[in-house]
Structure 1
Amino acid sequence: MIEESNTYYFKQAGKVMDHYYANKGQLDALIGTRKYINDHFDKELNLDLLSDARFTSKFHLLRLFKKYYGQTPKQYIISKRIELAKEFLKNGKSITETCFEVGFDSPSSFSTLFKCRVGLTPTEFQKRATFTKFDKFSF
Structure 2
Amino acid sequence: MKIQKEIIDFEEGKSFKLFSPSLKNCFYWHYHPETELVYVEASNGIRHVGKDISKFTDHDLLLIGSNVPHLNFDYGIQTECRQLVLQMQEEFTQNLTAMAEFSAVKELLDRSCLGLSFFGATKETVVQKLRIMESQNPFEAVMSLIEILQILAHSEEVKVLNQEDTRVQWFMNDKIRMGTIYHYIDEHYDKKPDVNEIARIIGLSTPAFCRYFKKQTDMTFTGFVNNYRINQAKISLLKGNSVTEACFQAGFESLSYFNKLFKQHMEQTPSEFRKEHMRR
Whether the TM-score (by the shorter chain) exceeds 0.5 is yes
Number of residue pairs matched? 108
Out of 6, 16, 33, the position equivalent to 2:181 is 33
Out of 203, 218, 232, the position equivalent to 1:84 is 232
Mapping of residues 87-126 of structure 1, within 5 Å: 87-126=235-274
- Between the aligned partners of 1:52 and 1:33, the Cα distance in structure 2 is 11
- Between the aligned partners of 2:179 and 2:257, the Cα distance in structure 1 is 28
SS in 2 for 1:113: helix
Cα RMSD after superposing both structures: 1.8
Percent identical: 33
1:30–1:64 Cα contact (<8 Å) kept: no
- Between the aligned partners of 2:214 and 2:221, the Cα distance in structure 1 is 8
Q: Unaligned 5+ residue runs, structure 1?
A: 1-25, 135-139
Could you tell me how far 1:38 is from its partner in structure 2?
Answer: 2.0
Could you tell me how far 1:101 is from its partner in structure 2?
Answer: 0.7
Deviations 1:37-81, CA, capped at 9 Å, x for gaps: 122211111311221232311111111111111111111111111
> Who is 2:212 aligned against?
64
1:112 partner letter? K
> Who is 1:127 aligned against?
275
- Between the aligned partners of 1:64 and 1:27, the Cα distance in structure 2 is 14
Deviations 1:95-124, CA, capped at 9 Å, x for gaps: 111111110111111111101111110001
Deviations 1:2-40, CA, capped at 9 Å, x for gaps: xxxxxxxxxxxxxxxxxxxxxxxx763333122211222
1:47 partner letter? V
Could you tell me how far 1:128 is from its partner in structure 2?
Answer: 0.6
TM-score by length of 1: 0.70
Detail structure 1 runs of 4+ shifted over 2 Å in the superposition: 26-31, 52-55
- Between the aligned partners of 1:44 and 1:71, the Cα distance in structure 2 is 18
> Who is 1:12 aligned against?
none
Which structure carries more strand by proportion? 2
Out of 55, 58, 61, the position equivalent to 2:203 is 55
2:214 partner letter? K
1:33–1:50 Cα contact (<8 Å) kept: yes
TM-score by length of 2: 0.36
SS in 1 for 2:208: helix
Q: Unaligned 5+ residue runs, structure 2?
A: 1-173
